[in-house]
A and B are shown apart, each in its own frame.
Chain A
Amino acid sequence: MSTFGGGYAGKMLYVNLTDGSIQSRPLDRSFALNYIGGRGFSSRILLDEVKPGIDPYCPDNVVVIAAGTLSGTPTPSSGRLVVAAKSPMTGGLGDANSGGYWSPELKYAGFDAIVIHGKAKEPVYLWIEDGRAELRPAQHLWGQNITETRNLLREEIGDDDIHICAIGPAGENLIRYACVVTDEEGVGGRCGIGAVIGSKKLKAVVVRGSLDVGIADPERFKKTLDAYRETLAGEVWTETLRRLGTPNLTAHRQSHGIWGAKNFQRATIEDYEPISGENFRKKFLMKPIGCMGCLVRCKRYSAIKDGPFAGIHTVGPEYETINALAAKPYVTDPAIVLRAHYLCDEYGLDEQGVGSTVAMAMELYERGLLTKEQTDGQEMVFGNGEALLYFIDKIAYRQGFGALLAEGTKIMGERLNADYYAIHIKGLEVDATDPRKQVTRALTYAVSTRGACHLRGNPYIDEFIKPEEAEAYFGTAAVSELEALEGKGKMVAWSEDWVTISDQMGLCKFAWYRSRSFPMLIKRGLELAKEAFISATGLPMTNEKLYECGERVYNVEKLFNLRQGIGREGDYPPARFFEEELADGPAKGCKLDRKEYDRLLDDYYEARGWDKKTGEPTPEKLRLLGLQ
Chain B
Amino acid sequence: MGRQRIGYFEDLQDPERICSRCHMCELICAFHHHQVGNPKRSRIRLISLDKGVDIPVTCLNCEDPPCMNICPTGALHRLESEGMVTVNEDLCIGCAMCVNACPVGAVTLDPVDGVAVKCDLCDGDPQCVAYCPANVLKLTDAERFARHRMKEYAKFLQAAGETT
A: residues with CB less than 8 A from B are 6, 72-74, 76, 101, 104, 107-108, 160-161, 185, 209-215, 218, 222, 242-243, 285-297, 301, 303, 313
Contacts and interface: CB of A to CB of B under 8 A. Distances in A.
B22 A213 contact: no
B28 A108 contact: no
Q: Looking at chain B, what size class is its interface with the partner chain? A: 20 to 34
Given A74-B31, A104-B37, A215-B31, A295 B18 contact: no
Interface in B1-56: 15-16, 18-24, 27-28, 30-31, 34-41, 48, 50-52
Contacts of B37: 72-74, 104, 107-108, 212-215
A218 B34 CA distance: 10
Contacts of A301: 52
Contact of B16 (A209, A242, A291): A242
B10 to A, nearest CB: 9
A290 B133 contact: yes
Given A74-B28, A210-B111, A293-B27, A287 B35 contact: no
A295 B22 contact: yes
Contact of A290 (B22, B38, B52): B22
A363 to B, nearest CB: 37
B112 interface: yes
B133 A101 contact: no
B22 A313 contact: no
A301 B16 CA distance: 11
A104 to B, nearest CB: 7
Contacts of A242: 16
Given A101-B23, A297-B20, A285 B36 contact: no
Nearest to B52: A301
B160 to A, nearest CB: 19
Contacts of A222: 31
Given A74-B31, A293-B27, A303 B40 contact: no
Contacts of A295: 22, 24, 133
A293 B22 contact: yes
A300 to B, nearest CB: 9
B16 A287 contact: yes
A76 B111 CA distance: 24
Interface in B37-91: 37-41, 48, 50-52
Contacts, number: 98
Contact of B22 (A285, A292, A303): A292
28 contacts: A6-B36, A72-B37, A72-B38, A74-B30, A104-B39, A108-B38, A108-B40, A210-B38, A211-B38, A212-B37, A213-B38, A215-B35, A218-B35, A242-B16, A286-B52, A287-B20, A287-B52, A290-B21, A290-B23, A290-B24, A290-B133, A292-B27, A294-B24, A295-B22, A297-B20, A297-B134, A303-B51, A303-B52
A286 B21 contact: no
A287 B48 CA distance: 14
Given A212-B34, A301-B52, 18 more contacts: A73-B37, A74-B30, A104-B39, A210-B40, A210-B41, A212-B36, A212-B41, A212-B112, A218-B35, A286-B15, A286-B52, A287-B52, A288-B15, A290-B24, A291-B22, A292-B23, A294-B22, A297-B133
Nearest to A301: B52
A214 B36 contact: yes
Contacts of A101: 23
A293 B133 CA distance: 9
Nearest to B24: A293
Contacts of B35: 215, 218
Lowest 6 CB-CB distances: which A-B pairs, in order? A290-B22, A213-B37, A210-B111, A74-B27, A212-B36, A210-B40
A58 B20 CA distance: 41
B38 A293 contact: no
Interface in B81-136: 111-112, 133-134
Of the listed residues A74, A76, A107, A292, the one surrounded by the most CB atoms of chain B closer than 10 A to its CB is: A74
Contact of B36 (A185, A215, A289, A294): A215
B86 to A, nearest CB: 22
Nearest to A238: B133
B18 A287 contact: yes
B27 A288 contact: no
Contacts of A209: 40
Contacts of B15: 285-288
A538 B20 CA distance: 32
A498 to B, nearest CB: 25
Most buried by B among A161, A293, A295, A297: A293
Contacts of B41: 210, 212
B137 to A, nearest CB: 14
Nearest to B45: A161
Contacts of B36: 6, 212-215
A145 B40 CA distance: 29
